[in-house]
Every structure is written in C-alpha cells, then in structure tokens.
Amino acid sequence: MADRGIELQGIVVRDPKKYEELYPNFPFISINKIPKSKEATFILCVKDDQIMGFLDELIQFGLSNSTVVHCSGSFNSRSMTPYFENNGYLYPLQTFNQNHDIDFDAIPIFVGGSNSNTLNTILTIANRLGNNVHEISESKRKTLHLCAVYINNFGNRLFGVAQDIANKEEIPFEYLKPLAEETVRVVFEKNHKSAQTGPAKRKDISTIERHLDYLREKGLIEELEMYLMFTKMIQDENR
C-alpha cells in the first residue's frame, strides 16, 4: 500500500508469529499491543462473523475514537455504531483468489461512512487504492452483493457443471472459453432477454429431450433439475 501513498502502520493480527514467517516484510502487530492512546483507521479484512468480535477487542484497548472500516458486501454497518461512532465500509467488488495479482484499478470500490469526516477518510483511502470508487448507500451495497453472489458464486457453480461434463467425456474444457467470454460480453452490452438464444428460447423440444436423456443416463440429477429450472425460466419470459 506504500506505493499508493497510504501510510500503513501495521497489520493487526491475533498471533503475529503465525504470519511473520510467511511474510517477513510485513509489519504485523499483535491485537493486544496496539498503542492505547493511538487514534487510527482500522480496515477490517476479516469474515463477516468475525467483525463484531474484533470490535469488542479493539474497544477493550480504549480505541473508541478510532475509525473502523469493514470490507464486507453484506455486513450491517449500523451494528458497529454502538462501539465506534466513526465507521463505514470499503467494499471492493471482486473475488479474491490466491496466487493471482489483483489489479485494483480495474475493480470498482464502493464506500460509505457514518458521518462526512469518516466518509472522507474512507474516500481518501479508496481513491489511493483504485480509480473506480463509488459512494453507495448501505442498502445498495447489499443489493450489489446479492448480484455478485448470482454472478460469481452461482456463475462458478453453473460453469462447473459444464466443466465436470467436459472432463468426464475427455473434452478439453478450454474449448468453451471463447463462448463463456462472449456470453459475458453480450449480456453487459444488451438486455439478457434480447441476448437469449438456445433450445429453451426457440422451444426446440427434441433437443431439450435429448439433453435430459443424456443427464438422466449419466445420473446427473442436480444438473438435470438445473436444466429444467433454467429452461422453464427462459420459456416463461418468452411466452
């Protein structure tokens, strides 16, 4: 973060020893060794269900004047206010995978704060991290997170069905990559309804039947239910 002009005072963790060996160049600080009087901005990069516990510990060290920022899509920010008046969120809309550098400039970051001072602090940090920063309300951030679940979590699982079928039949899955990329390109260019093609859309019953037969034969029951559900949804909207 130093190359972005952000002064990182330390990475607060429960047990620095666990991390120091892995990342010897990072300034880890034990949570019970934060200087008591220090006012700082804490960015909480932890799972949703660990946020409140972390606030509990911070407040024990008399840090209630500090600013706390969570990075969650769905966490309820208001539940932080009894602990820290200055609170907010910095939500980078991307899926993070190990072993892959993240280009923060390509990632939209959504921010909000409990008051204008806090918002400005968070905006400053976000604008140094990336250049695609948007102020967004608590409720819209949660809706965005729901959309992200459909696109990333469910999208991964959907593509996984094709991946498993291709693998089992010894068909290289990468054959399907240009199609997947085009699918994304098109749905972000026009409405999904006008982009829709395929047997379900054109009511090609014999192809649908052949696909269902295949899935039944292979014992792919969940995949068959998925096929029926999508086919129904596509047909429902094209009546």
Binding part of the chain for a copy of itself, among 10-18, 58-66, 111-119, 167-175 by CB under 8 A, reads 167-175
The 179-198 site mask, x for binding a copy of itself (CB under 8 A), equals xxxxxx-xxx--xxx-xxxx
Nearer to a copy of itself, 65 or 137 (CB): 137
Site for a copy of itself in 88-107 (CB under 8 A): 93-95, 97, 100, 106-107
Choose which of 113, 154, 224, 239 interacts with a copy of itself (CB under 8 A): 154
Strand partners, 42: 68
Choose which of 43, 160, 217, 224 interacts with a copy of itself (CB under 8 A): 160
Q: Tokens 């047997």 label which residue?
A: 199
Find the shortest distance in angstroms from Cβ 11 to a copy of itself. 22
Find the shortest distance in angstroms from Cβ 145 to a copy of itself. 8
The 209-238 site mask, x for binding a copy of itself (CB under 8 A), equals -xx--x-------x--xxx-xx-xxx-x--
- The tokens describing 191, both together, are 């409405």
Site for a copy of itself in 41-60 (CB under 8 A): 47-49
How big is the site for a copy of itself, counted in residues (CB under 8 A)? 82
